[in-house]
Amino acid sequence: MTRVLEIKGLRAAYGATEVLHGIDLHVDEGRVTALLGANGAGKTTTLRAICHFQVKTSGSVLFRGERVDSVSTEQIAALGVGHVPDGRGTFVGLTTEENLRLGCHARRDRNAVADDLERMFTYFPRLKERRTQQAGTLSGGEQQMLAIARALMARPSLLLLDEPSFGLAPLVVKDIFAIMRRIRDEEKVSILLVEQNARIALELADTAYLLETGRIVKSGTSAELRNDDAVRRAYLGQ
């Protein structure tokens, strides 16, 4: 199976404080890989390090077989990495539709863009209702949907999802993960999912890694991690 993303010995630091101490992980094509861990383990930093976003990094990052660890944030996005950041990155003063169009600002195929926009609206009908509304007025769940749809508008081959469940009501989280399942099946996109909510993440993911204070401490298929005693105790509350 081809690996969309392969990370070896990745270290990342904010200023002088190292947060990731050399991690290895990979994402297989067409699969969902989950990166689990508690608050402060370094999950968000891992995603930022992949994109060279606001952190200092070292180590190797291969995206579709090519080294991207010396490439700028903007270029990595252009190569096909869609990053749904923590905090959702909403453009609050623009309308929902303008937010979505920003996702594909580099694309020139107007008709295909119109089709993609419609497709996003079938995944997220709520966004269609809010089409001309200022994005800052959307609810947290709607903004999360908007962030995912915006990233997908660029037709990325890898989607980095940073805690889509953060701050949302359980029902909304369930909704979003149901849609993510559809997206996994219908879009040609591989997903690296960062989550604190291990239970719901393991339901969606094929494989998973467990991150503790900047180091990968466990990895395996979702089933393996779900049945692991330590994981059950610490992350699934069983």
Partner 1 sequence: MEIFVQQVIAGLTTGGIYASVALALVMIYQATHHVNFAQGEMAMFSTFLAWALIQAGLPYWAAFFATVVVSFVLGAVVEFAVIRPLHRAPELSVVVVFIGLLVIFHSIAGWIFGTQIKEFPTPFAKDAWYASRLMSAHQVGTIFVALCLVAALFSFFRYTTLGLTMRAAAQNPASSRLLGINVGRLLMLGWGLAAAIGAVAGMMVAPVVYLDPSMMIGVLIYAFAGALIGGIDNPVGAVIGGFLVGVLENLIGTYVVGTELKLSVALVLIVGVLVVRPAGLFGRRVVQRV
- Separation CA 151–CA 105 (nearest Å): 11
Candidates 33, 42, 63, 85; binder of partner 1 (CB under 8 A) is 85
Token pair of 96, please? 């929902």
| Of 4-12, 21-29, 47-55, 172-180: span binding partner 1 (CB under 8 A) | 47-55
Token pair of 156, please? 């990325």
Residues pairing with 95 in the sheet? 134
Q: Taking CB under 8 A as the rule, does residue 50 contact partner 1?
A: no
Token pair of 188, please? 């040609």
- Which is it for strands 215-221 and 207-212: parallel, antiparallel or unpaired? antiparallel
Shortest reach from residue 153's CB to partner 1, in Å? 9
- CA gyration radius, the chain: 17
Candidates 2, 139, 221, 238; binder of partner 1 (CB under 8 A) is 139
Q: Taking CB under 8 A as the rule, does residue 74 contact partner 1?
A: yes
| Of 8-16, 78-86, 168-176, 211-219: span binding partner 1 (CB under 8 A) | 78-86
- In the chain, count H helices and then E strands: 10, 10
- The residues that touch partner 1, with contacts defined as CB under 8 A, are 51, 53-54, 73-78, 83, 85, 89-94, 98, 101-103, 105-106, 134, 136-140, 150-151, 154
